[in-house]
Structure 1
C-alpha cells in the first residue's frame, strides 16, 4: 500500500520526470512506476507527509511540511472535487477509472490554480 496526500493524485497524473532534486525524481519515478505497472495497488489517502513527501525539500524534520497551508488547501480541494475521503483506501485502478478517465481542465484548475507547478505550465 502506498500512502499519498490527496493532491498527489493530480501530481501523479501529470508527472513527467521533473521534480525538486535528483533524489526526489528517482523516488517519484519508483512510486509512479509501481502504480502504473502493478495491478490493484492500494492507495491510502493521508493528511500528513506521505511516501512522495519523503524526498521533498519542503519536508522539514519530522512530518512537517514547509508549505503545509498550501498543501492542506490542495488536499481539501482534491477531496471535494473527486468525492474522496481522507484515511480511505482506494485501488489505484479506481483512481484511474474514476478520476483520470474523467479528467476535466476546469476541475483541475479549481484544485491546482495556486500551485507553482501548475502556474509554470508543468501540469498541462
Structure 2
C-alpha cells in the first residue's frame, strides 16, 4: 500500500519522468509504474508529506510542508469527493477522477504549480477520461 497526499493524485497522471532530482525521479517512476501495471494497488490518502515527498531534495525550504501545498491537497480531495484516511485501490481513484475531473481543472486547482505549464497533467486527466490509465514512462 502506498500513502499519497491529495495533489499527488493529479501529479501521477501527468508524470512523464521529470522531477526535482535523480532520487526523486527514481522513486516517482517506481510508484507510477507500479500503479500503471497493477491498478489494484491500495492507496491510503494522507495529510502532509507522503511516499513521494520522502525523496524530495533537501535543498532549503521544504516545499512539501508549505501551506499552499496543503491547500492544493484539500482542494483536489474535495473536488474528487475523497477524504484523508481513506484507503482505496488506484483503479478506484481513477474512476473517481473520471467522474469528477476535467482537464481544465488543472488550470484552477494547480494554478501555482511550476509543472502546470508543461500541460502534461491535463493530458493525464484526459487519458483517464479516455480509459487509458497512466502513461508508460520511457
TM-score by length of 2: 0.77
Cα drift, residue 57 of structure 1: 1.8
CA shift in 2, pair 1:113/1:41, >3 Å: same
Cα drift, residue 122 of structure 1: 5.1
Cα drift, residue 105 of structure 1: 2.3
What's the CA shift string for 1:17-74, capped at 9, x where partnerless?
Answer: 00001111011100001111124111111012111011102687xxx65552121011
Q: In structure 2, what is the equivalent of residue 69 of structure 1? A: 67
| Structure 2: runs of 5+ lacking an equivalent | 123-138
| Structure 1: runs of 5+ lacking an equivalent | none
CA shift in 2, pair 1:93/1:66, >3 Å: closer
Identify which range, 97-106 or 68-77, moves more after superposition: 97-106
Q: In structure 1, what is the equivalent of residue 7 of structure 2? A: 7
Match of 1:116 among 110, 114, 117: 114
The answer (yes or no) to whether the contact 1:58–1:66 under 8 Å persists in 2 is no
Q: In structure 1, what is the equivalent of residue 20 of structure 2? A: 20
The answer (yes or no) to whether the contact 1:81–1:107 under 8 Å persists in 2 is no
Q: In structure 2, what is the equivalent of residue 95 of structure 1? A: 93
Size of the alignment, in residue pairs?
A: 121
